[in-house]
């Protein structure tokens, strides 16, 4: 299982330290939640802060856009050379065009589905993306309760992916812990995002990452 800790749960007063800690703790990706206060009722960080994150990180960035104007934000973050940029399908009229744009910038495109969005809705985009991110909470905040219907959704997505694009990864984001990780693994999930479980673990960041792996 690949682990992408969400820096939303980091101490923003010591952001570089907390980014270094997850990289040294063995994470695979650094998950960055970008929220615009419109698509979700919360605001987070822009390119100035994310460039400081990129400087501190020794692992690739996984940028999760929770915004209304995806194209504008892709242009804003592309110079930071993240490994992945993911955008919400619920907010995009021309997903195929946006996927091509992200790829043309040398970044791996990914699509995000909110908890209610069926995997079949992106069946004809699967061959064009490198990853699908399934939300297991309502996007906007860390520390929420895991929505367990994501397990069945991951299974359904996995069988579509096997038909359309077996190399496409499945990522799950929200409420992930050592209590539900085995269900996600069995369902075919490749990457988990975890914010509070990693940053607030009583035995520290490395123990938390090891437990998920």
- List the end-to-end C-alpha distance of the chain, in Å, as a whole number: 5
**Does residue 33 belong to the site contacting Zn ion (CB under 5 A)?**
yes
Instruction: Clarify whether 33 is annotated catalytic.
Output: yes
How many other CB atoms sit within 10 Å of the CB of residue 114?
A: 15
Catalytic site residue from 33, 62, 128, 130: 33
How many other CB atoms sit within 10 Å of the CB of residue 101?
A: 18
CB of 169 to ligand DX5, least distance (A): 16
CB of 180 to ligand DX5, least distance (A): 11
CB of 200 to Zn ion, least distance (A): 16
- Asked whether residue 33 is marked as a ligand-binding residue, the answer is yes
Q: Which of 2, 9, 71, 155 binds ligand DX5 (CB under 6 A)?
A: 9
What H or E segment, with its residue span, contains residue 70? helix 70-77
Instruction: Let me know the angle formed at the C-alpha of 174 by 9 and 29, rounded to the nearest 5 degrees.
Output: 65
Catalytic site residue from 28, 128, 130, 173: 173
Give the Cα separation of 35 and 173 in Å (integer). Answer: 15
Q: What is the binding site for ligand DX5 (CB under 6 A)?
A: 6, 8-9, 31, 33, 64, 137, 139-144, 173-176, 193-197
């Amino acid at each position: 299982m690949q682990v992408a800790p969400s820096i939303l749960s980091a101490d923003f007063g010591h952001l570089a330290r907390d980014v270094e800690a997850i990289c040294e703790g063995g994470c695979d990706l650094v998950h960055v939640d970008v929220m615009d206060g419109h698509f979700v009722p919360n605001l987070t960080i822009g390119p100035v802060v994310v460039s400081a994150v990129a400087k501190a990180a020794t692992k690739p960035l996984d940028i999760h856009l929770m915004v209304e104007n995806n194209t504008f934000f892709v242009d804003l973050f592309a110079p930071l050379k993240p490994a992945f940029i993911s955008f919400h399908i619920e907010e995009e009229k021309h997903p195929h065009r946006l996927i091509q744009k992200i790829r043309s910038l040398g970044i791996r495109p990914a699509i995000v589905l909110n908890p209610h969005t069926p995997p079949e809705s992106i069946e004809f985009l699967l061959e064009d993306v490198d990853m699908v991110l399934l939300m297991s909470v309502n996007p906007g905040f860390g520390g929420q309760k895991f929505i367990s219907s994501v397990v069945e959704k991951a299974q359904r997505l996995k069988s579509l992916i096997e038909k359309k694009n077996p190399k496409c990864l499945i990522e799950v984001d929200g409420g992930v812990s050592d209590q539900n990780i085995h269900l996600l693994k069995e369902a075919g999930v490749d990457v988990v995002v975890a914010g509070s479980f990693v940053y607030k673990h009583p035995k520290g960041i490395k123990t938390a990452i090891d437990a998920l792996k």
